[in-house]
């Protein structure tokens, strides 16, 4: 079975094609600047690579271009687009729907109800899904919601202390995100540890970051809440923030609530703290040159990771492994070292040389450390592909 996994942005489309008989990635590609007079398209199929500019009006055209690349007589891996069993989407927020669904009007309506909670994610997905349903009516579209993995979080860690009618009437609670990444880490960590009931903290650190506590392969606590804006400071998103500061900001700046929220979602986080950049590489370079605000941003990020990690250790009654993944988690040796520093009394001991040497998957705990410290590159796309296969093979499909 062949599954195409799509990752959408407002003006971008990235994809991977999987052969699910052995989970090989047969092809990958991307289209950027959708809607511009000339969009950038690239594809990689085996050793063959191609880049070109062409007009791509919308996401439907992008998918058509993708399928054309995949069926190219000379380099393609498909004889016909009908060989693709489904297109899977790493959908973000379905509110009242959390799971894996064949896209229908109910799914689109549920996503639309959460547009205000995920304004950067839901609208482009909804628009693209509608276009693709019209252009490829016989090709199943499957939404695998990021919130699904966190449905096992216990109620005391899921509910906000708000009026009951708001929670029940408007589906307001802590949902959690990055579900595909944390699900992959849960499975791969179990393989590495040789144990299915381990207590694991999955640290997905990148442009968007979250931590999840995992026991026996299930999420029991996570840092993101009602929206992907919450939890740790992101590259340019605020993270946790006191809502009662909003009236003061509105009063002092004269901005509207929508304008303030847009600034918090685009000029906050590491960018706001440093007043320079939201990119960890830029901040480390500037901090090394003596920039105090960049150092503050780095320190604040590490402190927030440690604060949440400590709560998770308490919630699980200990920790067997801490796993780092994502762009920062996999490549940020200083972040890993600083997050795990001075925790010897908790059984967390870093081998600094091993940490510095890691490329790809590996471990960096010292001899005698009770907690294993691991770096595991994530694979969100293969998780979505697996979920698509399960949904297509489910006799209850498409519900």
Instruction: Cite the annotated binding site for Mg(2+) by residue number.
Output: 7, 380
CB atoms within 10 A of CB 250: 14
- Give the separation between CA 371 and CA 346, rounded to whole angstroms: 8
Question: Looking up tokens 């407002």, which residue turns up?
Answer: 10
The tokens describing 245, both together, are 């500061």
In whole angstroms, how far apart are CA 222 and each of 203, 212, 336? 10, 4, 19
**Could you give the dihedral angle defined by the CA atoms of residues 112, 113, 115 and 121, in that order, rounded to the nearest 10 degrees?**
-60
CB atoms within 10 A of CB 169: 9
Query: What are the percentages of helix, strand and coil residues in the chain, rounded to 5?
Result: 40, 20, 40
CB atoms within 10 A of CB 105: 9
DSSP-derived letter for residue 395 is: T
- Give the separation between CA 31 and CA 11, rounded to whole angstroms: 8
Q: Which residues are documented as binding site? A: 7, 14, 279-281, 380
Question: Looking up tokens 């590495």, which residue turns up?
Answer: 192
Using a 10 angstrom Cβ sphere, with 0-12 exposed, 13-18 middle and 19 or more buried, the burial of residue 37 is: exposed
CB atoms within 10 A of CB 163: 10
- Strand segments, DSSP code E, in the chain are 2-9, 12-19, 24-32, 39-45, 48-54, 84-89, 100-102, 141-144, 199-204, 210-215, 218-222, 321-325, 362-363, 372-375
- Give the separation between CA 168 and CA 180, rounded to whole angstroms: 26
At residue 192's C-alpha, the angle toward residues 190 and 198, to 5°, is 35
Q: Which residues are documented as binding site for ATP? A: 14, 279-281
DSSP secondary structure letters along 184-233: HHHHHHHHHHT-SS-EEEEEE-SSS-EEEEEETTEEEEES--SSTT-SS-
């Amino acid at each position: 079975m062949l599954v195409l996994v799509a990752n959408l942005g407002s003006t971008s489309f990235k994809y991977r094609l999987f052969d699910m008989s052995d989970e090989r990635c047969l092809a990958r590609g991307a289209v950027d600047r959708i809607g511009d007079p000339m969009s950038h398209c690239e594809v990689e199929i085996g050793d063959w690579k191609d880049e070109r500019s062409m007009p791509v009006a919308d996401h439907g055209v992008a998918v058509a271009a993708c399928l054309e690349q995949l069926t190219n007589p000379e380099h393609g891996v498909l004889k016909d687009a009908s060989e693709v069993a489904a297109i899977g989407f790493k959908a973000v927020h379905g509110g009242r729907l959390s799971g894996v669904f064949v896209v229908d009007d109910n799914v689109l309506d549920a996503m639309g109800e959460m547009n205000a909670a995920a304004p950067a994610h839901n609208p482009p997905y909804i628009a693209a899904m509608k276009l693709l349903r019209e252009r490829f009516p016989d090709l199943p579209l499957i939404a695998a919601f990021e919130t699904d993995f966190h449905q096992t979080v216990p109620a005391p860690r899921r509910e906000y202390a708000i009026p009951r009618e708001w929670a029940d009437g408007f589906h307001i609670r802590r949902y959690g995100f990055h579900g595909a990444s944390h699900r992959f880490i849960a499975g791969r960590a179990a393989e590495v540890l040789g144990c299915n009931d381990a207590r694991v903290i999955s640290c997905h650190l990148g442009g968007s970051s979250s931590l999840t506590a995992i026991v026996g392969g299930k999420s029991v606590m996570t840092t993101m809440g009602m929206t992907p804006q919450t939890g740790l400071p992101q590259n340019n998103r605020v993270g946790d923030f006191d809502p009662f500061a909003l009236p003061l900001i509105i009063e002092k700046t004269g901005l509207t609530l929508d304008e303030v929220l847009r600034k918090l979602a685009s000029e906050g986080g590491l960018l706001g703290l440093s007043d320079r950049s939201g990119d960890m590489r830029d901040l480390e370079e500037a901090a090394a040159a003596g920039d105090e605000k960049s150092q503050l941003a780095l320190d604040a990020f590490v402190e927030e990771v440690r604060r949440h990690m400590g709560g998770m250790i308490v919630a699980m009654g200990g920790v067997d492994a801490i796993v780092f993944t994502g762009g920062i988690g996999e490549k940020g040796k200083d972040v890993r070292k600083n997050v795990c520093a001075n925790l010897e009394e908790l059984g967390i001991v870093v081998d600094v040389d091993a940490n510095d040497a890691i490329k790809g998957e590996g471990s960096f705990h010292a001899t005698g450390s009770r907690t294993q410290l691991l770096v595991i590159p994530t694979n969100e796309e293969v998780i979505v592909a697996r979920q698509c296969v399960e949904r297509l093979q489910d006799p209850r499909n498409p519900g």
